[in-house]
Structure 1
């Protein structure tokens, strides 16, 4: 992954051209829709021969793909300077692998949606233009954006990509089962000990108290919940991470608790597939589970007529952790490629600004369940009506806003994140099935992650 000199030279030339054109555009008088969208002289010059075409690679499948297509159509119909072609490229892993294959060939997209854990790789690839350069050149106001969301993609006060689909994890619980067990459905547990007590009370009549998917994201969240970093060098944010801290006390505490409930039959181990835990929850097989906020509407729909779904913030490991830490956002963001012309990059920026508008964010949120990235979207009638219909989502909003921003809750970044998650999930499995103690399993995984970090860092030129 050493820097390609020809690409670097092209990147610098492209950037210089972009800044020159942006400066020229900045001196023009702009009013009405032109001012709102920030059209530059560069983009406008293309209109004489037709609109600037940009290609967007994304990973939104099924119903999400339909929402993406609607937003693209709305943008394309709203103006004549830019036309967007959105192309589904498979899941995040498939999409980023196609992107890697396209690098240096000119066959890649103008903009790419990729998952949060791809952030370090995208920066190190030398293939992107940081979003901050467009923000600064356009004097674009980000003050209305959710700071907890922006911070994940910010390094050295530079926003590298624009957040797009954003979520965080919450606990889902069966309110009817809570009532039958003598628990207060309006006052869900707040700590692991309290959830353990609830799981014991809920395990009866063929129902098991809880099931958590074996998912590396959950372990990452429990570190942040304890205001602890998963990697050294401030979670890889002040310098490239060189060591995994997976085997430290925060991870061992959580995994030890998890195994205890499995051993005592108050929790089911349904493996790595989150869909399996969701199905068990919807069927009443388990009373409590953890999943993304983006699953809210689906879980409510699948349980309609069976029981009422309650939501609770991710628990603290101990009562002493209350008021500390929080959650790390998940999801994906949008990146602009630096091997495209200044006109194409500026056109992509125009489209990204459109997607960030409150009206578009409200539509995206209501139709997908992902967070709006701008606080102004909550003032839209569409969102207000949706919140009345799904008041459970307030848990996610409060959890986001109550999260203290620091390097623990900003989230870990590393170029081998997908491999690290797989190793973490293997460690969880080893602990839960008793082949290793929680400490040994996490220590072994941490050692392997640390070695992979070294191997990765050796490929990145300083």
Structure 2
């Protein structure tokens, strides 16, 4: 009996010890289990850190609205790709927005908000509107903060976008007018193809020899100008004339048009005289039409944008000459106003997007980028160092006429005239000049046509100035 009782106590003790041991394992994990749980926690923390690093490493995306189609769009996208691949902080996203006018209209609806693009391309006559809009951050603030050297860039291009010693936008696609002429036609008419006319009187004389008539029908006109206000502005400026008062609106707000002064009258009298003589070809206001007229030899001389020179040379069935735009013999040649467009930075957007925009603008000004842009599009290189790049030298060897456009720009005398006018209603003013041109071609007296255009321009200037007060 005692043996049975001892066995029972022994078994009970073993069961108790086993139970205690089991409870202890449940309360405190053994060493192996603790290691596994610690590894799981560390793995979780590591995953969180990786996600944070990935979020931090994501590139800042900045949208770039532009108005370039065709080859210009292809070049923009290629340069943006080069920038995106050159660094790991920013991604520029180019987006085509239609014409300059369409892009600006869209920008007006989102300017000053987070929905605005970081960069918008705006044509030169939109400069005053952009400055007054309150929607942009002047690039001068980034230039000053960083100490960026703009002396490396073309002064006669920077001048247009500089107001009160502040560079408001970064020049991009810049061009000037030049005169293109048919060298073969010059030889046939007994003119020296290497010595094109320079003054208004020389243009009239050469046009008489270049005009070809068959009875009452004119087969070939001597000279033509597109019905586009830009060319009239340039022909006035190269004489040293202004478009509006107060130094073209650069010392004070412009209050009236002055393009109907003696410089403007000389231009309109040139058109009027040649039109009456039958040596002036009126091919309307469409760029393609006047370029086609030149290609088909319907006109022997005409004014075009420097950006269109290379394509015209390539497509013409004759040798093309390029010369400076003509000027009145009653004035000195001053040079040309820059045309085209520039890049503006939005305000009211994330600062990182602004920084992305600034970095891209600087990338665009490198000689390599500017050389590519010049070759692809015909627009000037904002950084003249680009002209020393091999691809540019090779292009100039093929088309030496391109250098003429650069020489004319670099020989321009900086002044209020060649700096260009600043008015917020420039598109409306330009249309008034076009109407005046059309009226002269229909027989209206040149001074009367100019005065009417100036009067209408004054009206819209007054309205705009009143609205801005």
User: How far off its partner does 1:103 sit?
Assistant: 2.6
Once the two structures are superposed, residues 374-421 of structure 1 have per-residue CA deviations (whole angstroms, 9 ceiling, x without a partner) of: 111111111111111110012111110111001000001110011111
2:109 maps to: 101
2:133 maps to: 125
Cα distance in 2 for partners of 1:246, 1:452 equals 15
Q: Contact (CA 8 Å) 2:436, 2:453: kept in 1 or not?
A: yes
**3-state SS of 2:122 partner:** strand
Matches within 5 A, 1:15-414: 48-204=56-212, 206-303=219-316, 306-318=317-329, 320-322=330-332, 324-414=333-423
Cα distance in 1 for partners of 2:397, 2:268 equals 37
Cα distance in 2 for partners of 1:208, 1:238 equals 42
Cα distance in 1 for partners of 2:436, 2:447 equals 9
**3-state SS of 2:220 partner:** coil
2:449 maps to: 441
Aligned residues: 412
Q: Contact (CA 8 Å) 1:46, 1:81: kept in 2 or not?
A: no
Cα distance in 2 for partners of 1:202, 1:358 equals 41
2:433 maps to: 424
Cα distance in 2 for partners of 1:414, 1:46 equals 48
Cα distance in 2 for partners of 1:260, 1:275 equals 25
Structure 1 residues 141 and 104, CA gap change in structure 2 (3 angstroms):
closer
Gaps of 5+ in 1: 1-44
* Structure showing greater Rg: 2
Q: Contact (CA 8 Å) 1:47, 1:81: kept in 2 or not?
A: no
Once the two structures are superposed, residues 93-147 of structure 1 have per-residue CA deviations (whole angstroms, 9 ceiling, x without a partner) of: 0000000112344322111001000000000001111111101111101111110
Cα distance in 2 for partners of 1:298, 1:430 equals 32
Q: Contact (CA 8 Å) 2:112, 2:134: kept in 1 or not?
A: no
- The equivalent position to 1:460 in structure 2, one of 438, 458, 468, is 468
**3-state SS of 2:434 partner:** helix
**3-state SS of 1:321 partner:** coil
Cα distance in 1 for partners of 2:394, 2:100 equals 32
Cα distance in 2 for partners of 1:180, 1:444 equals 41
2:5 maps to: none
Cα distance in 2 for partners of 1:161, 1:77 equals 25
Q: TM-score, normalised by structure 1?
A: 0.87
Gaps of 5+ in 2: 1-52, 214-218
Cα distance in 2 for partners of 1:191, 1:253 equals 11
Q: Contact (CA 8 Å) 2:237, 2:334: kept in 1 or not?
A: yes
Once the two structures are superposed, residues 36-86 of structure 1 have per-residue CA deviations (whole angstroms, 9 ceiling, x without a partner) of: xxxxxxxxx997241111000000011211111101111111111000111
Cα distance in 2 for partners of 1:103, 1:379 equals 39
Structure 1 residues 91 and 226, CA gap change in structure 2 (3 angstroms):
same
User: How far off its partner does 1:447 sit?
Assistant: 0.8
Q: Contact (CA 8 Å) 2:189, 2:209: kept in 1 or not?
A: yes
Runs of 4+ in structure 1 over 4 Å off: none
Cα distance in 2 for partners of 1:445, 1:104 equals 34
Q: TM-score, normalised by structure 2?
A: 0.86
Q: Contact (CA 8 Å) 2:140, 2:167: kept in 1 or not?
A: yes
**3-state SS of 2:212 partner:** coil
**3-state SS of 1:314 partner:** coil
Q: Contact (CA 8 Å) 2:112, 2:136: kept in 1 or not?
A: no
Cα distance in 2 for partners of 1:159, 1:264 equals 46
Q: Contact (CA 8 Å) 1:207, 1:284: kept in 2 or not?
A: yes
Structure 1 residues 363 and 105, CA gap change in structure 2 (3 angstroms):
same
2:48 maps to: none
**3-state SS of 1:270 partner:** coil
**3-state SS of 1:442 partner:** helix
Q: Contact (CA 8 Å) 2:248, 2:417: kept in 1 or not?
A: yes
Structure 1 residues 166 and 104, CA gap change in structure 2 (3 angstroms):
closer
Cα distance in 2 for partners of 1:453, 1:88 equals 31
User: How far off its partner does 1:342 sit?
Assistant: 1.4
Q: Contact (CA 8 Å) 2:154, 2:382: kept in 1 or not?
A: yes
